[in-house]
Structure 1
Amino acid sequence: MTVAAREVLEDCRGAVDEIGGGVQGRAWRRRWVAAVVLMRTVGYVLAAVDSKRSPAHKAAIDKAWAALSATKPEPAIFWSFIDMERHSIVHEYDIGAGQGVTVSPGAAIPVEHHYVMNSGPYAGKDQREVLRDCIGWWESYLDAIEREVGK
C-alpha cells in the first residue's frame, strides 16, 4: 500500500477545494502554493516513506520512478506542471497561476471570480481543473505501484 503518499493526496484534494469561493490576493496565493507543493510532495513521501514498507514496495516504487523518468518530458501533467510549477514556486517564488474578478452590475450574478493558469502548457485552463487532473494522475500512478507490489 501507498498509505503515506495517499495521505498527502487526500490533503491535495482539500487544498484544491479551498481554492475558489471568492478567495483572492495573498489568501489565494497561500492556498495555491500549498496545493502545488502538496501535489509534488506525494512523490517525495512515496519515495521516502512508503518505499520503506517492504522490499517489494521499494522495488515497485523505484521501478515506477525509473519508468517515469525515462519518458520525460511526458507525461506533461507531471513534468510540465507538478514538477515544474513546484520548482518555480519553491526556488523562485514564480507563480504560473492567477486570480481575478469580473464585476457585472445589474447581472443576476454580479461578481464572477476567475482562477486561471497564466503561463505554461496549461495557460488559460482553470487551475482547479489542472490540480484535479494531477490528483487523477497520481491516483493512477499509485494504483499501478500497488498492483506491482501485489504481483
Structure 2
Amino acid sequence: MIDNLQSNIISANLMWHIVHKVDRKFHEDWSSKARNDADCLVITVYRDKAEKSAEINEMTHAAREVLLDARLALDMLQTETDPDRWRVHWAGGVALLRAVGHVLLNVDQRANVELAKIGDEAHRRWRSADPSHAVYRDFILEERNNILKEYRSKVHPLAEVPMAIRLTLVNPETGEVSYLDQIADFDENLFRPLVEGYGEGEDARDVFEEAINWWERELAAIDKELSIRLRR
C-alpha cells in the first residue's frame, strides 16, 4: 500500500497542506518564545471554547462539547511537526471522534425521552449500509478500534513521505507539452496519508475534518427532529 502511495501524482489536497504549513511556518510568530508560551495559547482556546459552549442551547450539548475538543485536536495535528507528538494527538483525536457518539447516547439521550428515541434511530441509521454514513463506520469506528484495541493506525507511519511529482512543461514557442517526473520527500508531517481503507491516499487530517463535519450535520439533524416533535 505504501509503495503505491509513493507512485501517486501529487494531489491538490497535498498542495493545500504544504501551503498551509509553509504559511504558518513563515508568516506566523512561531518563535521559540511563542512555543514556550503555549500554555497561554491553550488557555485562550479553552476560554473561547467555554464562550461557544455557553451559546449552545441544543439538547445534544454534551456531545457537542466533545466535538469542540475534537476540533481542537485537529488544530494541533495541523501544526505539529514532531512525529511522536503527532501520533499522540492523532490517537487522542480519534478517541474524541468516537466519544461524541458515546456521550450522545449516555448523557444527552438519558436527559430526554424523545431525544433517546431519535438518537437510537440515528445510531441504527449510522450502522446501516447507507453510503452517506461510511465515514462513521469505516473511519471513526475502525480507526478508534485500531488504536484502542491494537495500538495501530491506518496513517502512514513516517513523518517523511516520499511522493512522485509530475511537472508539466510547455514550450512557449511550439506549445509542445512535456512532463518531468521526480521524487520529493515531504517531512515535518506535511503529508500524512491513510494507507488503506476509507480515505486511502488522502491526508489523514482531511478525513478527520470530514468526520467532524459529519458529526456536526448529524447532531444538527437530531436537534432539528427533536424540535419538530416537541412542537406537535
TM-score between both structures, scaled by the size of structure 1? 0.87
Greater CA drift, 89-98 or 39-48: 89-98
Task: Find the counterpart in structure 2 of residue 106 from structure 1.
Answer: none
Call closer, same or farther: CA 1:102–1:65 in 2, change over 3 Å. Answer: closer
Which of the numbers 96, 102, 120 marks the counterpart of 1:62? 120
Gaps in structure 1 of 5+ consecutive residues: 104-109
Identity %: 34
Task: Find the counterpart in structure 2 of residue 119 from structure 1.
Answer: 196
- In structure 2, C-alpha distance between the alignment counterparts of 1:94 and 1:102, rounded to whole Å: 18
Q: How many angstroms does 1:101 deviate by? A: 3.0
Contact 2:143 2:153 in 1 (8 A): yes
Greater CA drift, 122-131 or 10-19: 122-131
Between the two proteins, the alignment pairs up a number of residues equal to 145
Task: Find the counterpart in structure 2 of residue 100 from structure 1.
Answer: 159
Contact 2:104 2:119 in 1 (8 A): yes
Contact 1:100 1:115 in 2 (8 A): yes
Q: How many angstroms does 1:67 deviate by? A: 2.0
TM-score between both structures, scaled by the size of structure 2? 0.58
- In structure 2, C-alpha distance between the alignment counterparts of 1:70 and 1:134, rounded to whole Å: 17
Are 2:69 and 1:11 equivalent residues in the alignment?
yes
Task: Find the counterpart in structure 1 of residue 145 from structure 2.
Answer: 87
Q: How many angstroms does 1:136 deviate by? A: 0.7
Q: Deviations over 1:101-139 (max 9, x none)?
A: 369xxxxxx966222212222121111111110011001
Are 2:204 and 1:146 equivalent residues in the alignment?
no
Are 2:209 and 1:132 equivalent residues in the alignment?
yes
- In structure 2, C-alpha distance between the alignment counterparts of 1:136 and 1:83, rounded to whole Å: 16
Greater CA drift, 47-56 or 67-76: 67-76
Q: Which one has a bigger Cα radius of gyration?
A: 2
- In structure 1, C-alpha distance between the alignment counterparts of 2:82 and 2:61, rounded to whole Å: 33
Report the secondary structure of 2:96's partner residue. Answer: helix
Question: Counterpart amino acid of 1:100?
Answer: A
Report the secondary structure of 2:193's partner residue. Answer: strand
Q: Deviations over 1:49-99 (max 9, x none)?
A: 000121111111111112222336762201110000001111111111134
